[in-house]
């Protein structure tokens, strides 16, 4: 093919999309989420419509008389917006493939209609090129809609709510990747049946079957991984279940894994966004994302000895400000209650409930005199199994009361992540968390991409083979 023919085929694919009534309808529907997030803004002081009408002013605090501080509110706002966006995109992702298949499944059958085929195939273009142009038209169809949907959501949230998340753009290639294999099957069914209705129905029937088989494989793969990682002997299996497991393994290798598109996009996003945390302790489930601003960690300090220590000199020369995080072994489950009671009696101040990561603990705050200096003291206590985690903040009171110092303290406490046993067990027993670029073949992202691309190539090759043998 020369350049003129390629340009003509691309132009034909373009008009297949823009002249499609289904595309225009879906375009309007996919604009609605972006328009919604542009008109409705989500802020720490409530939900606003067109920046004028305030609805649910206490939507983040649930009407609590003592709302969280500003840093905590902003963190809660981001979490809530993440959930809202995930739900909106989840709904559209659920129906987008079905709607798109219904809209583009006539591309190939229409090309093969009586009378129309004589005109199409009389052109000096190979059947393979014409067939491939219809496939490319379907990918362009979904790509444009995905850009409109995700671009609209990102722009609307940014302009109205100040929530800018360019990482959401990874959803675009994920949607196109997931649709690519379904469209290849639709094109094959279109050649085999020459019927748009049949191509739609067969593809729609294939979708839940493919989804169900892969979900069964994932469940079986996780169970095998857990059994292999544990010291427990493997449970006996019947011959039927063993055969079914082999069938699932084989289908996983040859079938399209369009559902992995979201996982691959997430893995790429996490790899690009990854920042090495300041400190990680897997045994405790503790992660500290960053050092407190203006503080330096003592290189010889250790969590289970004198404690991790960060120091910062006071500008006025009033000694040092200190953060110290220490873990100690305890002998009983209720040690936190006993330590809190003893500290409350010693200090003469009440504690407040607090949450570090996902674990509930106690928080104390008091002031003490050291000669001529007044010091602000804060202490957090959390128990994780047989270890008591203590966090101490010690700073000159006037310095600690400054706005920048208080902002730093809130940012640092917001950077603590502490996972409970249940969360860690669920995470390590999840297919999504085991899925990686360098994982074993059952969870390998590279294998998933290569086998899915091979499946798409095979479907297109079968469609072309059938098309080349049709006598018009």
Other C-beta atoms lying within 10 Å of the C-beta of residue 163: 20
Q: Which residues of 59-97 are buried (b: 16+ CB within 10 A; e: fewer)?
A: bbbeeeeeeeeebbbbeebeeebeeebeebbeebbeebb
Tokens at 392, concatenated: 């101490």
Q: Is the Cα torsion angle 124, 130, 131, 136 positive or negative in sign?
A: positive
pLDDT of residue 263: 82
Q: Give the mean pLDDT of 391-417.
A: 85
Query: Degrees (nearest 5) of the Cα angle 440, 442, 444?
Result: 60
In DSSP terms, 364 is beta-bridged to 379
What CATH number is attached to the domain comprising 297? 3.40.1000.10
232 and 314, same domain (yes or no)? no
Question: What integer best gives the mean pLDDT of the chain?
Answer: 81
174-183, 366-375, 396-405, 424-433: least confidently modelled range: 424-433
234 and 130 in a common domain = yes
Among 183-192, 233-242, 346-355, 454-463, name the one with the lowest average pLDDT.
233-242
Q: Give the gyration radius of the chain's Cα atoms.
A: 29
131: helix, strand or coil: helix
Q: Which two tokens stand for residue 316?
A: 């006025």
Question: 3-state class of 128 per DSSP?
Answer: helix
Lowest mean pLDDT across 49-58, 342-351, 361-370: 49-58
Each residue of 420-470: pLDDT tens digit? 655 555 555 688 888 888 888 889 989 999 999 999 999 999 999 998 887
The reply to whether 310 and 197 lie within a common domain is no
Q: Give per-residue pLDDT as tens, 56-80.
A: 776 676 655 455 556 566 667 777 7
**Burial class of residue 334 (count of CB atoms within 10 Å of its CB; 0-12, 13-18, 19+):** exposed
Asked whether residue 397 falls in the same domain as residue 459, the answer is: no
pLDDT attached to residue 119:
45
Residue 103 has pLDDT above 70, yes or no: yes
Confidence of residue 120 (pLDDT cuts 50, 70, 90): low
Same domain, 42 and 92: yes
Q: Which of 46-50, 247-251, 330-334 has the lowest mean pLDDT?
A: 330-334
Q: Across residues 244-271, what is the average pLDDT?
A: 84
The answer to the question of residue 58 being in a domain is yes
Sheet strands side by side (includes 308-313): 296-297, 308-313, 320-329, 387-396, 373-384, 359-370, 352-356
| 416-418 sheet: strands from edge to edge | 279-281, 286-288, 416-418
Residue 123 belongs to some domain of the structure:
yes
Residues 253 and 298 in one domain: no
User: Environment class of residue 404 by beta-carbon count within 10 Å: exposed (0-12), middle (13-18) or buried (19+)?
Assistant: exposed
133-169 pLDDT, tens digit per residue, is: 889 888 888 888 889 988 998 899 889 888 888 878 8
Domain coverage including residue 454: 3-271+429-468
Please state the rounded mean pLDDT for residues 212-216: 92
- Asked if residue 314 and residue 241 are part of one domain, the reply reads no
Do 248 and 347 lie in one domain? The reply is: no
Mean pLDDT in residue range 202-225:
90
The most confident of 1-10, 226-235, 245-254, by mean pLDDT: 245-254
Residues 113 and 215 in one domain: yes
Neighbour-count burial for 205-236, b at 16+ CB within 10 Å, e otherwise = ebbeebeeebebbbebbbeebeeeeeeeeeee
Q: How far apart, in whole angstroms, are the C-alpha atoms of residue 434 and residue 162? A: 34
**Position 216 pLDDT exceeds 70:** yes
């Amino acid at each position: 093919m020369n350049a003129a023919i390629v340009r003509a085929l691309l132009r034909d694919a373009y008009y297949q999309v823009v002249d499609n009534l289904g595309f225009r309808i879906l375009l309007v529907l996919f604009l609605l989420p972006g328009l919604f997030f542009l008109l409705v803004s989500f802020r720490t002081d409530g939900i606003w419509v067109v920046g004028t009408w305030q609805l649910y002013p206490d939507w983040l605090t649930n009407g609590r008389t003592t709302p969280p501080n500003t840093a905590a509110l902003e963190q809660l706002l981001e979490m809530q917006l993440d959930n809202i966006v995930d739900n909106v995109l989840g709904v559209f992702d659920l129906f987008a493939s079905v709607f798109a298949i219904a809209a583009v499944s006539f591309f190939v059958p229409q090309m093969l209609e009586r009378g129309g085929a004589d005109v199409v195939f009389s052109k000096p273009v190979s059947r393979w090129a014409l067939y491939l142009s219809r496939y490319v038209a379907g990918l362009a169809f979904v790509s444009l809609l995905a850009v409109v949907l995700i671009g609209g959501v990102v722009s609307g949230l940014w302009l109205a709510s100040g929530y800018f998340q360019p990482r959401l753009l990874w959803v675009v290639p994920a949607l196109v990747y997931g649709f690519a294999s379904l469209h290849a099957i639709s094109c094959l069914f279109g050649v085999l049946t020459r019927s748009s209705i049949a191509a739609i129905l067969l593809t729609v029937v294939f979708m839940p079957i493919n989804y169900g088989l892969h979900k069964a494989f994932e469940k079986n793969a996780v169970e095998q991984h857990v059994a292999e990682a544990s010291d427990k002997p493997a449970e006996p299996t019947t011959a039927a279940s063993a055969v079914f497991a082999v069938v699932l393994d084989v289908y996983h290798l040859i079938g399209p894994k369009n559902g992995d598109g979201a996982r691959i996009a997430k893995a790429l996003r996490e790899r690009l966004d990854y920042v090495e945390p300041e400190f990680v302790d897997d045994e405790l489930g503790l992660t500290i994302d960053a050092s407190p601003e203006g503080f330096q960690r003592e290189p010889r300090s250790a969590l289970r000895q004198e404690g991790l220590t960060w120091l910062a000199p006071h500008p006025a020369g009033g000694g040092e400000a200190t953060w110290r995080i220490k873990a100690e072994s305890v002998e009983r489950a209720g040690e936190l209650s006993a330590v809190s009671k003893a500290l409350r009696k010693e200090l003469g101040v009440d504690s407040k409930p607090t949450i570090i990561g996902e674990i509930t603990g106690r928080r104390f705050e008091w002031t003490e005199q050291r000669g001529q200096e007044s010091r602000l003291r804060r202490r957090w206590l959390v128990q994780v199994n047989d270890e008591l985690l203590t966090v101490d903040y010690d700073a000159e009171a006037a310095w600690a009361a400054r706005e920048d110092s208080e902002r730093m303290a809130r940012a640092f406490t917001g950077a603590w992540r502490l996972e409970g046993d249940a969360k860690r067990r669920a995470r390590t027993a999840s297919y999504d968390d085991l899925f990686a670029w360098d994982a074993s073949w059952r969870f390998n992202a590279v294998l998933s991409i290569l086998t899915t691309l091979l499946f798409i190539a095979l479907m297109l090759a079968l469609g072309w083979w059938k098309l080349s043998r049709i006598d018009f």
